[in-house]
Amino acid sequence: MTGLIWAIVAVSLVLLSVIVVHLQYFIENRNVLLKKINENEFRYYKNGVEFIITNDNILTVEKFTSYNYNTKAAKGLLPTDDYHYYIVTLKDRDKLIITSLLIDDFSFFINKTKVHKRFIAWLNKKS
């Protein structure tokens, strides 16, 4: 019986982490529209404000992922492994948060992308 209780607790914690991460990402990007204009330009709209994302106006791109994201050995170990987000800092110092709910891969700005790995990619706006 003790093993069953531990299994229920473990499954509950995993499910809770998925729910929390998904809600964080959903709340952050609920009023965001991301449009791909062409290979080198995106338009990011948040609460009616437009931001243009191009190679020329990006200062930095930071990607936050789990340790297991895109690894062959442990891919899919946890349900939260596919969640990741980007913080795009524009040259005018505006910071845009783009979660994996909006776009899976934003790495075409790879020369400006710094990757941070965590156990779970909780949304942290201060990163």
Quick: pLDDT tens for 44-96: 999 999 999 998 899 988 989 887 655 555 556 677 788 889 999 999 999 99
Structural domain for 9, as ranges = 2-118
Single pTM value for the model: 0.82
- Rounded Cα distance between 95 and 25, Å, is 16
Q: How far is 5 from 21, CA to CA, in rounded Å?
A: 24
Provide the number of structural domains found in the chain: 1
In a domain, 125, yes or no: no
Mean pLDDT within 87-114: 84
Res 114: pLDDT: 83
118 or 109, which is more confident?
118
For β-strands 85-90 and 58-66, DSSP reports them as antiparallel
| Inter-residue contact 34 to 50 (CB < 8 Å) | no
For residue 46, the model assigns a pLDDT of 94
Give residue 74's pLDDT: 53
Q: What is the pLDDT of residue 35?
A: 92
Confirm whether 9 is domain-assigned.
yes
pLDDT value, residue 121: 80
| pLDDT level of residue 108 (50, 70, 90 thresholds) | low
Give the CA radius of gyration of the chain: 17
Model confidence band, residue 31 (pLDDT cutoffs 50, 70, 90): very high
pLDDT higher than threshold 80 for residue 111:
no
* HSE-CB for 58 with a 13 A CA cutoff: 24
Contacts of 118 (CB under 8 A, 6+ apart): 64, 65, 66, 67
CA quadruple 75, 80, 83, 89: dihedral sign: negative
pLDDT at 42 over 60: yes
Instruction: Return the structure tokens found at 119.
Output: 């156990």
Element housing 31 (H / E): none
DSSP 57: G
Read off the CATH number of the domain in which 17 is found: 2.30.29
**Half-sphere exposure for 25 (CA within 13 Å, toward CB):** 24
Q: Does residue 123 sit within a domain?
A: no
In a domain, 78, yes or no: yes
